[in-house]
Amino acid sequence: GAVVSQHPSWVICKSGTSVKIECRSLDFQATTMFWYRQFPKQSLMLMATSNEGSKATYEQGVEKDKFLINHASLTLSTLTVTSAHPEDSSFYICSARGGGEAPYEQYFGPGTRLTVT
Amino acid sequence: SQQGEEDPQALSIQEGENATMNCSYKTSINNLQWYRQNSGRGLVHLILIRSNEREKHSGRLRVTLDTSKKSSSLLITASRAADTASYFCATDDDMRFGAGTRLTVKP
């Protein structure tokens, strides 16, 4: 299947700083990318959906000024957590969906564990 | 709210037994997908079933789809300890996830 990578896999930052997480589709062009966060022993919560070249669509309750999403190319989307606080500590997962023969199949990255101290 | 809802929330079986988990959804779909997540990892795509398909197989996995009941089931046959994970379903037009089914396979 297709491969999606995330970088970094884990990051520790101080409260008040910003952190950028990258999501890349390695062998296909992702027309749509999704960002999720997941707390321990809970399901994934969809944060936003982004289409290449357009603004992301955020889920209700997700602060767009705090979680900046940029889907600048068909293989890269970034999530920037601005002015991070300890409550932003979570597991962030991206997924990508492309066209071609399997337009609906969605492939997930391995996740990024963010710890804000 | 999410489209896919999995049932049961937790399932514990012995190695070699079959595991069945269910998914219900609300609106009409083009396809439905099942995923597995090992603890602390990303999701792995298991299988996609289209709305015009009733059953699909992949190795030890068997997925059924009943569009009249808006439900799907995932059957894992001859389970192994390595199948221990959380399983989620999602539909094509709504990539929100339910709570998932946490499967534990005891050796």
Task: Tell me how far apart the alpha carbons of residues A38 and A48 are, in angstroms, rounded to a whole number.
Answer: 13
How many beta-carbon pairs under 8 angstroms link A with B?
Answer: 49
Chain A contact set for B48 (CB, 8 A): 102, 104-105
- pLDDT at position B74: 97
Q: Which of A24-28, A96-100, B8-12 has the lowest mean pLDDT?
A: A96-100
| Cβ-Cβ contacts under 8 Å for A41 (sequence gap 6 or more) | none
Q: Inter-chain contact B95–A46, Cβ cutoff 8 Å? A: yes
Asked if residue B64 has pLDDT above 80, the reply is yes
For A64-112, the pLDDT digits (tens) are: 999 999 988 889 999 999 999 999 999 999 999 875 556 667 889 999 9
The verdict on A34 touching B (C-beta cutoff 8 Å) is yes
Q: Inter-chain contact B95–A95, Cβ cutoff 8 Å? A: yes
Task: Tell me how far apart the alpha carbons of residues B23 and A89 are, in angstroms, rounded to a whole number.
Answer: 30
User: Mapping DSSP to helix (H, G, I), strand (E, B) and coil, where does residue A80 land?
Assistant: strand
The verdict on B65 touching A (C-beta cutoff 8 Å) is no
User: Mapping DSSP to helix (H, G, I), strand (E, B) and coil, where does residue B50 land?
Assistant: strand
Q: Are A79 and B22 in contact (CB under 8 A)?
A: no
For B21-30, the pLDDT digits (tens) are: 999 998 888 8
